Amino acid sequence: MRVDSEAFMGSIDYLSSIFIFVVGVALLFILALFILDICQTRDAIRRNYPVIGRFRHILSRLGEFFRQYFFAMDREEMPFNRAERNWVGRASNGEDDKAPFGSTRLLTPASTPIFVNCPFPTLDTDATGAPDMVIGPYARAPYTARSIVNISGMSFGAISKPAVLALSRGAKMAGCWMNTGEGGLSPYHLDGDCDIVFQIGTAKFGMRTEDGGLDKDKLREIAATPQVRMFELKLSQGAKPGKGGILPGAKVTPEIAGIRGLPEGKDAISPNRHIEVDNVTELLDFIAMLREITGKPVGFKTALGAYGWIGQICEEVLRRGVEHAPDFITIDSGDGGTGAAPMALMDNVGLPIREALPMVVDILERHGLKDRIKVIASGKLITPAEVAWAFCAGADFVVSARGFMFALGCIQAMKCDRNTCPTGITTHDRRLQKGLDPADKAVRVRNFVEQLTTSVGVIAHSCGVPHPRALKRFHVRIVQPNGLSVPLDELYVPQCRAPKQEPKIAE
């Protein structure tokens, strides 16, 4: 008993010594932080409130996660709220999209779309899928597109190898196309044997000369790849109109540098426009040259601000002949996404898709070119209502990038530019990439395309039409600030269209 008591007291003394040591180290650490804080001059809070002031930065960084999981309501977050992310999650998992009790969405806020259901909706037996659509009828190798929902541009570099593999394989399963983004064509794009739209960015990655110009031999080599079905000339994108792409040096690995034709480890900054294109005439000349070399459909992508130049393109096309028209125009929204962009551009420049898409469609229709030039809508269109709205406004196809990122498992951690993406989608850290299994995620990509297409079809059938492309502007009403809704065809009177003449009063 005495021995046990002595052993017990010895243990107490040992633990006390450890405790005193730990407390001493902690106090020394706090003292070191105190000295560092009062001596530094960069942060006034830390200088005035040593040690304690550091918690401000810690809590600010943790705040976005606490808001996402504990405080934000289902419809509150930006850029995508929990309800939208959850819908994509259920769709990509192949789960039933039915919900109980009632909608959590308020239908009274301004700009809310409300679709006009028909008293005699389309029977399931009469419903049809949207017919295949031919793009580029004057190209040597026109493209017959099957899917109304497709994958927008995400470069290998901006997203990881397993993410590209999953998208490529999933696109093949779903029968949709995949846009390479401006980072060039990688083996992982081709892995799934899906249809590819090659995006030509302002830096000509993947087909650039040493001085940054277009290498026509490399262009011919890429065009000879059977999976490459179209070429998209990127003029601008919604998240950063007026500025080229930005890939931080931490993401420019040896492999990516080789594909793009860049130095390893250095920031990849694209010019803010194509050096070959400074006006409408040069744009049409450049498109014609690309189509002649590749033999495949060529269009362009733009975020709309000024719109007069779209009309000028149409007038020049009519002067030259419709065979000289761009084969498609991709309209990106001013609130589009990207891996990295200046906040001044992301927050303030470029028209949102709700205004830009009807404007472009009206200009093309006014010139009789809507059937010749296909319109592709892009920018935050990830739910059935948003996609159905785009078809009401006149789109021929819808493409999405962030919707497919959610299908891959994105949690909106907002770490796309830091190479620390926790889901492995936008990082080249191999440890983090292990969490993304391309085989599993490819199935989720297919499920997302199929469920989104089906759900948009359900809206179309409710409105009394057989498929989404048959939707018209009068099928959707837009809620106004007074809480009442107005049909889209009455609401939208663009400045590019001449106002209606007032009837004359007989004298």
pLDDT of residue 507: 34
Position 57 pLDDT exceeds 50: yes
Rounded Cα gap, residues 488 and 393, in angstroms: 8
Q: What is the pLDDT of residue 386?
A: 95
Task: Give the pLDDT confidence score for residue 410 in this predicted structure.
Answer: 87
Residues 44-56 have a mean pLDDT of: 79
Mean pLDDT of the chain: 86
Greater model confidence, 461 or 57: 461
Q: Burial, 332: exposed, middle or buried (Cβ in 10 Å; 0-12, 13-18, 19+)?
A: buried
Of 8-12, 104-108, 136-140, 473-477, which range is least confident? Answer: 8-12
Calculate the CA dihedral of residues 388, 449, 77, 95 and round it to 10 degrees.
110
The pLDDT, as a whole number, for residue 137 is 97
Pairing of strands 268-269, 374-378: unpaired
With 0-12 CB in 10 A as exposed, 13-18 as middle and 19+ as buried, what is 382? buried
Q: How far apart are CA 198 and CA 205, in angstroms?
A: 11
CATH 3.20.20.70 given to domain 133-491: yes
Q: Name the most confidently modeled range: 12-16, 317-321, 345-349, 431-435.
A: 317-321
480 pLDDT above the threshold of 70: yes
pTM value is: 0.84
Residue 152: predicted pLDDT: 96
In this predicted structure, the answer to whether residue 227 has a pLDDT above a threshold of 90 is yes
The residue with greater pLDDT, 447 or 20, is 447
Q: Please check the confidence at residue 96 and state whether its pLDDT lies above 90.
A: no
Is 390's pLDDT higher than 70?
yes
**What is the pLDDT at residue 89?**
82
- The identity of residue 299, as a single letter, is G
Q: SS3 string of 198-232?
A: EEECCCCCCCECCCCCECHHHHHHHHCCCCEEEEE
Residue 57 or 434, more confident? 434
Closest C-alpha to 302, from 402, 376, 203: 376
Q: Which pLDDT value is given to residue 463?
A: 96
How are beta strands 228-234 and 195-200 bridged, if at all? parallel
Least confident range of 32-36, 317-321, 389-393: 32-36
Averaged pLDDT, 42-49 = 76
Q: What percent of the chain is modeled with pLDDT above 70? A: 87
pLDDT of 150 above 80: yes
The pLDDT of residue 61 is above 90? no
Give the domain ranges of the chain: 2-71, 133-491
In 335-411 the beta strands, taken as DSSP E runs, fall at: 374-378, 397-400
Q: What is the pLDDT of residue 466?
A: 95
Upstream peptide bond of 79 is cis (omega within 30 degrees of 0)? yes
Q: Are 168 and 176 within 8 A, CB to CB?
A: no
pLDDT over 90 (residue 62): no
Segment 454-465 mean pLDDT: 95
Average pLDDT for 240-246: 71
Q: In the structure, what pLDDT confidence band is assigned to residue 341 with cuts at 50, 70 and 90?
A: low
Give Cβ neighbours of residue 382 (< 8 Å, ≥ 6 apart): 80, 84, 87, 88, 400, 402, 403, 406, 452
